[in-house]
Every structure is written in C-alpha cells, then in structure tokens.
Amino acid sequence: MKKFLLGSVVIASLVNVNIFAKDFNLDKAHSNVAFKIKHLQISNVNGNFKDYNADIDFDSSSFQFNKLEAKIKVSSINTDNKARDAHLQQDDFFKAKTYPDIIFTMDKYEKISNEKGRMYGNLNIAGVSKKIVLDTEIGGVIKTDSGKEKAGFTLQGQIKRSDFSFAPETSTLTLGDEIQINIEAEMNEK
C-alpha cells in the first residue's frame, strides 16, 4: 500500500509540473530586439531587428520558462543607416542570403527568484552555433479583460563576435569584439 501511495504521489507531481504552463506569442508592438557594439573604440553603434518571432512556453504560476525558441530575420536589421544595414547583410557580416535567420533555442532556465533567472541556450548566427547565457528579468504577469494572460520580460547578455566567426576580417580596433544584447518583450497567452 505504501508503494502504491508513493507511486501515486510521484506520478501526480510529474503531471502537475507543467499544468500551469501556457503557450505565449510575442506582442511586437511592445517588444524590442536590440544590440550595441563599439565602433572605433570610442562610441557605440546601436541597432535592432524589426522582424522576429518566438514560441514561448511559460508557467505564470511559478514564473518558469519551459521553452523559448526565437527566430530573427537578418534582413530586418536597423541601425538608422540604410547603407550600413545593407552592408551588414553581405557575406563579410551576416551572410543573409545563405543564413537569413538568427536562431536562439533555450536549453534550460535557471530560476533565481520570481523576478530573476538565467536562460541557457544555443545561438546560431550566420551558420555558427554557440552556447550563451542570458540574464532574465520577469516584469510580471497580468490578466487582461479577455481573461488571457500577458507577461513581460527582459533578456540581457553579451557575446563575442569572434566566437561566431562574425566579420573576422574586421579589426577589433574598427569594430569591437563584444556585442551587448538587450531584448525587451511582452508576450500574450495564445
């Protein structure tokens, strides 16, 4: 009898792990996928991407990400300079014709508190994949008038362009090696 009860408790626990998890879509009107990188070691060039999507599985009761898969269209890069944006899509940078998407796939989420965590995953830029870590801040969860949930979060991190063999012919004196990533996102329950 004890084994049966223990087995039932274990099964019930496993079933309840994702009972509150929900699928979310990004609300692009309230989201931004941004980056910055040093130019000539004296200033920063800021930019963002205008076209992106993400498939998100988020448990709003425990503030836990179970899945996040994002795809960013390289052709949507915006640095407020059309000539530079066109150049960044060429083969010496993003190789956009061959690799039209930047892809991030979460491997695991480490919850520190309801507001803070670390997202571990695989980032693929121009055909090169590397493991990265993004600091995560969850702004909160609300229920809308329609009864569905809306949540906000921030992902921040730093990557090295040399790790991705990104623009290898460009000197770090001209273009810094470190790229800051800052993603502000709102998501809507599907």
pLDDT in tens, 35-57: 999 999 888 999 999 999 999 99
Question: If we measure between CA atoms, which residue out of 37, 24, 36, 44 comes closest to residue 153?
Answer: 24
Cα-based angle 87, 90, 92 (whole degrees, multiple of 5): 100
* pLDDT at res. 41: 84
- Position 5 in a domain: no
**What pLDDT, on the 0 to 100 scale, is given for residue 26?**
87
What is the domain-level CATH number for residue 73? 2.40.128.110
Calculate the alpha carbon distances from 166 to 8, 97, 135, 159 in Å. Answer: 52, 15, 23, 11
Residue 164 falls within a domain, yes or no?
yes
In a domain, 2, yes or no: no
Strands 64-73 and 43-49: unpaired
Give the model's pLDDT for residue 20.
59
- pLDDT for position 116: 97
Q: Is residue 50 part of a domain?
A: yes
Supply the pLDDT for residue 19: 52
Is 96 inside a domain boundary?
A: yes
Residue 142 domain flag? yes
Instruction: Please give the helix or strand (H or E) that residue 82 lies within, else none.
Output: helix 82-88
The parts of the chain modelled with pLDDT lower than 50 are 2, 4-17
Which residue range(s) make up the domain with 54?
21-189
Residue 104 is assigned to a structural domain of this protein: yes
11 occurs within a structural domain: no
Over the range 84-97, which residues count as b (16 or more CB within 10 Å of their CB) and which as e?
eeeebbeeebbbbe
CB atoms within 10 A of CB 12: 9
3-state secondary structure of 79: coil
For the chain, what is the domain count? 1
Q: Give the pLDDT confidence of 99-116 residue by residue, as tens digits.
A: 999 999 999 999 999 999
